[in-house]
Amino acid sequence: MYKSRPEARKTAAELRGLLSAEYPPGKRVVIFPSFTNLSDVLDIFAATPCVTVGAQNFYPAVEGAYTGEISLTMLREMGVSRVLAGHSERRHLLGEADELVARKTAFALKQGFSVMLCIGETLAEREAGDLVRALSRQTGAALADLPAACLARLSIAYEPVWAIGTGKVAGPAEVLEAHAEVRALVARIFGDAGRNVPILYGGSVKPDNAATLLKLDNVDGLLVGGASLNAESFLRIIRA
């Protein structure tokens, strides 16, 4: 929940200019701005094929009396085709349970959207040795009834809740353990097809730790928070 419309336009235009001058091949960038900034950011990146724009949230219904929510139909007519589901702040600040995250994930995929499903453990779960249980619960709930045909539009972001906005970053061993577990969980559900689902790391990602994180097994990308608010900072992460 950052940036007025002029601020969002300025940052997006700066990033577009930097990317047009220098863009590492083979990279994909997805930006999830706030709802009030979606149309402006979509317009700015309309001619930048390496960048797509997604929405931070939606409600799993075509329409209805869901005051304060937004539908996929509304997002689609704006030109949005990607959404987040299960972000740690939605789960832990706003109380979205595993069942709701699962409904949202399945609904968006059925509607033809690409979904970035976010999962991750709290500090209490980590300290209690419940990492595997927490990841299994969240991943299993969201993926259990999905058809394998939708996997091409699914990505998973592992974000340890205790590392979101705290400046703390999971160490290499912790990231490796979590990502290996997620990979194994997806493979158990979908077989070999599950080995192609991208798994991203999110949690206080910064320009100075991005390259180290990306060298780890099963880390296919990064979910960036505060460091994406500045175009030059974000570009340094993209370069990594």
Residues 153 and 209 in one domain: yes
pLDDT at 23: 67
Residues spanned by the domain of 218: 58-234
Which residues are known to be catalytic?
87, 159
| Domains identified in the chain, total number | 2
Of 55, 76, 96, the position where a domain reaches its end is 55
- With CA atoms as reference, report the closest residue to 96 among 84, 107, 85: 85
User: With the C-alpha atoms ordered 201, 119, 169, 184, is the resulting torsion angle positive or negative?
Assistant: negative
**Gap between the Cα atoms of 40 and 120, Å rounded:** 31
Residues 175 and 198 in one domain: yes
Residues 182 and 201 in one domain: yes
Residues 129 and 38 in one domain: no
Residues 36 and 64 in one domain: no
Higher pLDDT: 133 or 127? It is: 133
- Mean of all residue pLDDT scores within the chain: 94
In a domain, 166, yes or no: yes
Residues 192 and 155 in one domain: yes
pLDDT at 120 > cutoff 90: yes
Of 12, 36, 55, the position where a domain reaches its end is 55
Residues 39 and 63 in one domain: no
Q: Which residues of 99-138 are buried (b: 16+ CB within 10 A; e: fewer)?
A: ebbbbbbbbbbebebbbbbbbbbbeebbeeeebeebbbeb
pTM summary value:
0.95
Residues 208 and 99 in one domain: yes
pLDDT at 215: 96
Residues 162 and 104 in one domain: yes
In a domain, 110, yes or no: yes
In a domain, 205, yes or no: yes
Mean pLDDT (whole number) for 185-197: 93
CATH number of the domain enclosing 75:
3.20.20.70
In a domain, 239, yes or no: no
In a domain, 240, yes or no: no
| pLDDT tens digits for range 92-109 | 999 999 999 999 999 999
Of 10, 40, 55, the position where a domain reaches its end is 55
Higher pLDDT: 220 or 21? It is: 220
**Gap between the Cα atoms of 82 and 59, Å rounded:** 14
Residues 98 and 5 in one domain: no
Residues 48 and 123 in one domain: no
In a domain, 41, yes or no: yes
Among 57-61, 126-130, 190-194, 236-240, top mean pLDDT goes to 57-61
Residues 16 and 77 in one domain: no
| pLDDT tens digits for range 22-55 | 766 778 999 999 999 999 999 999 999 899 999 9
